Amino acid sequence: MNFKSLRFPGIHISLSRVQTLIGLAAGILSITGGLVAFFKPASDRGNLVAIVQDAKTQKAVSDATVEILTPADVLVTTLTPDSSGEASCTLDEGHYRVRVNHPRYVSEIRDVRLISRQNTEVHVQLRSGRSLGNAVRRVFHH
């Protein structure tokens, strides 16, 4: 069989011509995909990053629970910080509440406004729950 030219009934095409047509089609598809990505409307989403630390030691608290809520306190998602205390997610632009819980600390809530195509950082410093709990017990028991 001769691979330099392909024979179909009534058609005579050389292999180099087939390669040229395939290369041209691939190039057109590649350029079209790049243009579609470039002119695609911008997303209305932003990135929310919560940084959770111990208020006294400034060390990361990686085993806290970070809840992202709507202003009406409807749960959107729950996150767990990584070893550096950071938890992130991508959300639609708008207002949110960030609630951070941990059994050894007092819960903290922050209101944030997320802007599309921007990173919004929320720094949450957790305070020990024991000292506050003792103070509340002293107030109500005396």
Structural domains of the chain, ranges and CATH numbers in brackets: 5-39 (no CATH), 45-129 (2.60.40.1120)
pLDDT at 90: 94
Task: Give the SS3 label for residue 135.
Answer: helix
pLDDT digits (tens, 9 = 90+) for 19-41: 888 989 988 988 888 777 777 66
pLDDT at 40: 64
The per-residue DSSP string of 58-125 comes to --B-TT-EEEEE-TT--EEEEE---TTSEEEEEEESEEEEEEEE-TTB--EEEEEEE-TTSEEEEEEE
pLDDT exceeds cutoff 70 at 103: yes
pLDDT digits (tens, 9 = 90+) for 52-84: 999 999 999 999 999 999 999 999 999 999 999
Q: Percentage of the chain surpassing pLDDT 70?
A: 79
